Structure 1
């Protein structure tokens, strides 16, 4: 009886300790940087590898970070030749009304005035001008209603999840005076998850890297030297010379509404490494301010640049013990040596080189001669023996791989050699068959 009672008490204590310690460990792992925001994510920009995450799949307000999708669709139209930078736009009544409300837009546009696409783009990217943003939506989509449809379709095409666009600017529809896009509600506002925002930023950076040329401008005058001149200080205060300047920061977009709180999608490059960050509804000591989003972003960037480095894990020409050669049919040689085509270099945590183990995937188990030198037969990636948050996209995951190729060419054998090889294989099969039959008798 005493033995049973003792075992019961030990079981209860063990279960209590398990329940107490498990949530604490999980919480520490998820919020190791103590980022004060509803959601946050840190990503290595070249591959989209997630290095830190907090609540990244929660759907939250994004405010003017919306404009990254507006920028994407404009730059796509520019690249495809559907829109030109020097193309002129005549201000519509709707754009005029939005631009004249100084609590909504900081760059007023003249009624029936003409503005180039580049002027409007700079006002949007640097100063987050909402009137200019709606103008761009009308240029690209014909109307903001149609443009919003394009935004949602593009998000789906890019593989984003957890999003809903209801206007081009990020404003709450209630501020648009009843002129909000058709099909959206009177009080609707754009929402995304931190993962989706980071993925959009990843695509924007990789497909249209020129975005940083404008996003990195700390200040500029709209229509300088004219009666319409307006000084545009970039809302990204982490740029050089601004309030929260941080070395290497050159983008991308801030946002704020009462619903979304203080948000920021940032990017910075130093020492051959670039990172992308997102914070949503950032606070400092429980209170949201203009600086909160930059203070929380600084924590992530400090962590990234202090703890990560570019490291060559495996050299060009690397082979594994399991895969040194691959079989060749009808060739002068029966096999060919294989190795990696390029060195495998990644941004990794300092001192963790040994946690990355090579994994070779062979796509063609057998080749048929003739075989070319450098012919791809598979690829190699590394498996991280630690907490792995994965990648934002499949494309990024592939960027962390290197091709495995043949080291030499293999010519096709002539007919005589192939015939003699076939005869030899025939006699070999007969011999092995007879040998096995004799063994079976005994």
Structure 2
């Protein structure tokens, strides 16, 4: 079901919900090569005092040692806090989120089937896993099902599975990359350009933290049937068991995805999502110093976000919010409300204090179609606007016949 667009009005009380924190420098320790062997999850570090800074709106936000990060609310798409959110950076294997997303959409629309065999070509083959590649370890010229390959991408971060699926869906990796970039444009990922399906180093393979959060939201929303794969902790193929590199899956039961990445140039990256008390947040960390750092920084963002924000539902979809007068209709009024769920993010403790005001068009004339916009609703807290949504007709109103319209016109003359 489609969702209501993000509200356009923001109050000072919600200023922290659209934050760009002061940029933070990435740590400069050298990065080692990614290993394809089974991953042993990092343990959570002992709690330490978190460095904070104050943004331009007076909101206290975390300071993180990386090149870019974003914390986004899933339901609304609002960025709660960010640093260098729109800077195109090497995404490493976070690229594979687009690869897996296109495979999942192909499964949904029937372009491919879960049991379809996918051939491991020489160009996709990991050549025995040498050179530190992340691999699913499908033998040369062997075949694996689409679903096995999908798990090989999401869980094992297989470069071989990514390339093989790209060739299978796109005819060639270049053809698939064109599909990736077309989908990125469709999703509004304006700072992203893909050059390959696996995220291998390439000066033309770049993505921003904000764009990757948008992609993560699309996976959760549009690939719901397949999203549980992103929470699976291990995958075994060809007798080789590999653990999911997302350490938070082992330490935080509220985390259920999405993808890690690492190259020397990109540093350690992590896109993750958590759901607590019904609110889902998405975080993106780019160019952290280590596996431990990317996990720790994600924990910081989730803990900060859940401690400082909550969701409010100013009005229920389908509920009558008012009644608008209609001229020349078979009925004199039409009930008004919002058509789709409406969620706002507000500072913690303010959800109960959100108030609404409905304004309806005073000059409605039949016919009116159910769902036609006939006004708006504005949500406020402490007298300041938080957001607004369109109000629509909750029923059709047919146009009255000639004599009834004439009668209404005459009555209108004498009522002036």
TM-score in terms of structure 1 length: 0.72
Aligned partners of 1:409, 1:191: CA distance in 2, in Å? 48
Tell me which of 348, 351, 357 is aligned to 2:346: 348
Gaps of 5+ in 2: 1-21, 24-52
Contact 2:377–2:389 (8 Å) recurs in 1: yes
Aligned partners of 1:411, 1:152: CA distance in 2, in Å? 45
Contact 2:126–2:159 (8 Å) recurs in 1: no
Gaps of 5+ in 1: 1-21, 174-187, 223-227, 283-287, 391-396, 430-442
1:44-65 residue CA offsets vs partner (Å, 9 max, x unmatched)? 1122121111111111111000
Equivalent residue pairs, number: 365
Aligned to 1:177: none
Aligned to 1:229: 239
Relative to structure 1, the CA distance from residue 417 to residue 402 in structure 2 (aligned partners, 3 Å threshold; closer, same or farther) is closer
What is the CA-CA distance between 1:204 and the residue it aligns to?
1.4
What is the CA-CA distance between 1:378 and the residue it aligns to?
4.0
| Residue 262 (str. 1) matches residue 263 (str. 2) | no
What is the CA-CA distance between 1:195 and the residue it aligns to?
1.1
What is the CA-CA distance between 1:420 and the residue it aligns to?
4.4
Tell me which of 196, 200, 223 is aligned to 1:171: 200
What is the CA-CA distance between 1:343 and the residue it aligns to?
7.7
SS in 2 for 1:292: helix
Q: What are the equivalent positions in structure 2 for 1:107-118 lying under 5 Å apart? A: 107-118=136-147
SS in 2 for 1:153: helix
Aligned to 2:212: 197
Tell me which of 221, 242, 254 is aligned to 1:206: 221
1:184-211 residue CA offsets vs partner (Å, 9 max, x unmatched)? xxxx352111111111111111111233
Larger radius of gyration: 1
SS in 2 for 1:84: coil
Shifted more, 408-417 versus 301-310: the winner is 408-417
Aligned partners of 1:386, 1:121: CA distance in 2, in Å? 50
| Residue 80 (str. 1) matches residue 90 (str. 2) | no
Higher relative contact order (CA 8 A, sep 6+): 2
Aligned partners of 2:339, 2:178: CA distance in 1, in Å? 43
Contact 1:315–1:343 (8 Å) recurs in 2: yes
Q: CA RMSD in A?
A: 3.5
Aligned to 1:380: 377
Contact 1:221–1:232 (8 Å) recurs in 2: yes
Q: What are the equivalent positions in structure 2 for 1:28-427 lying under 5 Å apart? A: 32-98=61-127, 100-173=129-202, 188=203, 190-222=205-237, 228-240=238-250, 245-282=251-288, 288-314=289-315, 317=319, 319=321, 324-331=322-329, 334-336=332-334, 338-339=336-337, 344-353=342-351, 356=354, 358=356, 360=358, 362=360, 365-368=363-366, 377-382=374-379, 401=389, 403-405=391-393, 418-423=405-410, 425=412
Relative to structure 1, the CA distance from residue 427 to residue 272 in structure 2 (aligned partners, 3 Å threshold; closer, same or farther) is closer
Relative to structure 1, the CA distance from residue 86 to residue 311 in structure 2 (aligned partners, 3 Å threshold; closer, same or farther) is same
SS in 2 for 1:96: coil
TM-score in terms of structure 2 length: 0.76
Shifted more, 336-345 versus 87-96: the winner is 336-345
SS in 1 for 2:235: strand
SS in 1 for 2:105: helix
Aligned partners of 2:78, 2:247: CA distance in 1, in Å? 26
Aligned to 2:40: none
1:117-139 residue CA offsets vs partner (Å, 9 max, x unmatched)? 11111111101011111111111
What is the CA-CA distance between 1:346 and the residue it aligns to?
3.9
1:320-339 residue CA offsets vs partner (Å, 9 max, x unmatched)? xxxx5433112466555645
Aligned to 1:176: none
What is the CA-CA distance between 1:348 and the residue it aligns to?
2.9
SS in 1 for 2:210: helix
Contact 1:42–1:275 (8 Å) recurs in 2: yes
SS in 2 for 1:220: strand
Please state which structure has a larger fraction of its residues in helix: 1
Contact 2:72–2:79 (8 Å) recurs in 1: yes
Relative to structure 1, the CA distance from residue 330 to residue 239 in structure 2 (aligned partners, 3 Å threshold; closer, same or farther) is same
Aligned partners of 1:208, 1:334: CA distance in 2, in Å? 44
Relative to structure 1, the CA distance from residue 147 to residue 343 in structure 2 (aligned partners, 3 Å threshold; closer, same or farther) is closer
Contact 2:76–2:345 (8 Å) recurs in 1: no
